[in-house]
Structure 1
Amino acid sequence: MTRHRTATLALRGLGLLAASALTLWTAKLLRVKRGVGRARRYWSNPQGEPGGLLYVALGDSTAQGVGASRPERGYVGLVAQQMREQTHAAVQVVNLSRSGARIDDVLSDQLPRLAALRPDLVTVGIGGNDLLTYDPAAYVRQVSALTAALPPGTVVADAPYLMHGHWERDAERAADLLTRSAEGHGLVVVPLHDALRREGWSAMATQFAADFFHPNDRGHRVWAEAFWSGILQSPVATRLGPAPAHG
């Protein structure tokens, strides 16, 4: 076989490999997009068992579980499962979050619905969409309004880690702003930004869905662990009891 023939076959093989990879990535990306509707339908009704602890989640698509293989494998579903295992009690989840939501949407749409409920735990994961078009002055106003309106003891994440460029600089400032405002209103802050930063750059390959924006199953577990640490500092912790023994 000539050298030219060998090179041609090698290039053709690389082309086929690249085409296969692109096809696989496209299929995964479509699955993430379909997951938005799937999560919305799943959370359109309360999930879990009534008569025990009531957990209400506010936020955006991450609270919906978009990016996970199933909605209940998002961080909200994982937190609910952790509550069941910790308390051996029934846990019902009312997930008021919405994909694409911003802070203003929580204020105008989600908080009024929360007012009709008597939850044992409220978590909030919001702000990622606001950071895409970050306006510092507007963010301060929105965060101030949000933290003033949330019930005391609400567990609220500061801001996601956006890894690079001005997006990360904005996210770091946003995390600090939300933390200071939330603590001033008696809220429990989840240092999500630092938790995600500790995962490092390798997380881009292992903890994100195909759109490189939403966490995948592994990424949602990291979010859930960060939220759980905050929950253990919240008023609901008194009803959780000691951690179950293992081994």
Structure 2
Amino acid sequence: MARTVSRWRRHPVLTVAGCLLVLAGVLAVVRAIGTQQSVERAREYWSEPQGDPEGLLYVALGDSAAQGVGASSPDKGYVGLLAARLRTSTGRPVRVVNLSVSGARVADVVEEQMPQLEGLEPDLVTVAIGGNDVRRYETGRFAADVDRLVAGVPPGTYVADVPYFMHGRWETDSAQAAGTVRTAAAEAGLVVVPLNDRLRAEGLQGMLTQTSGDLFHPNDRGYQVWADAFWTEIARTWG
């Protein structure tokens, strides 16, 4: 017993480091489980249209951010928040058809989500996509997919550029990708939502206080910032 205690005393740094590694591993597992539960909860919530069938039709395209992953409930994501603001500003009921899918990239929106617009006559369409493309960024492919996106969405669609990432190379890639989206959307006559600049302005404090437990998706406070970015542009018509 004395010999064991002696070894622990001789290597306190190694002991602390080992404990920290174990703790980090446990936290990673907890975050992964929490994110998966949020994904499943959001997918179930948005699997059916939400709101009044006779209301203004709001259609959302995008990825897990449009699903509201990371929020305390799916309706606290930016799509739900925008629907609530639209109801308040117009005094009319709103129906939300959320076609977004967690994990989607720009090509997925073009090939899987946009075809579902057929037969719909939306009063409002929003698109926020590109974050998953940045994680595996290919400049040429991304630009080509964005061209297909902006050519196929309805006139007047509100297109957010790519969210800001404060993570080394991701910061550079997200800025470049955001510029690609802004240019293409503007040339197509669509309404550009400068999400990247809005999130960049939040800085380190935003990263620390506006992300969920997985340190990637926004939390309720973060989604308020996303909704504000969209609403600044939408309010020019609907406010």
**Structure 2 length-normalised TM:** 0.88
1:52 deviation in Å?
1.9
Q: 2:148 aligns with which of 122, 145, 157?
A: 145
What is the CA RMSD across the aligned residues, in angstroms?
A: 2.4
Q: Evaluate the alpha carbon distance shift between residue 27 and residue 230 of structure 1 in structure 2; reply closer, same or farther with a 3 A threshold.
A: same
Task: Output the amino acid matched with 1:47.
Answer: Q
Q: Deviations over 1:105-141 (max 9, x none)?
A: 1111110001221000000010000111111111111
Matched, 1:106 2:116: no
Q: Evaluate the alpha carbon distance shift between residue 142 and residue 17 of structure 1 in structure 2; reply closer, same or farther with a 3 A threshold.
A: closer
Matched, 1:173 2:176: yes
1:157 deviation in Å?
0.4
1:30 deviation in Å?
2.0
1:59 deviation in Å?
0.2
Q: Are the counterparts in 2 of residues 25 and 210 from structure 1 also a CA contact under 8 Å?
A: no
> Percent identity between the aligned chains?
54
Match of 1:87 in 2: 90
Match of 1:245 in 2: none
Q: Evaluate the alpha carbon distance shift between residue 16 and residue 174 of structure 1 in structure 2; reply closer, same or farther with a 3 A threshold.
A: closer
Structure with a larger share of its residues in helix: 2
Moved more, 202-211 or 17-26: 17-26
Match of 2:58 in 1: 55
- Would you say how many aligned residue pairs link Structure 1 and Structure 2? 231
Q: Deviations over 1:186-242 (max 9, x none)?
A: 100000000000101112221111111110111111101101112124xxx2xx35x
SS of match in other structure, 1:198: helix
**Structure 1 length-normalised TM:** 0.85
Q: Evaluate the alpha carbon distance shift between residue 140 and residue 20 of structure 1 in structure 2; reply closer, same or farther with a 3 A threshold.
A: closer
**Unmatched 5+ stretches in structure 1:** 1-7, 242-247
Q: Evaluate the alpha carbon distance shift between residue 218 and residue 26 of structure 1 in structure 2; reply closer, same or farther with a 3 A threshold.
A: farther
**Unmatched 5+ stretches in structure 2:** 1-8
Task: Output the amino acid matched with 1:202.
Answer: Q
Matched, 1:230 2:239: no
Moved more, 106-115 or 28-37: 28-37
Match of 1:129 in 2: 132
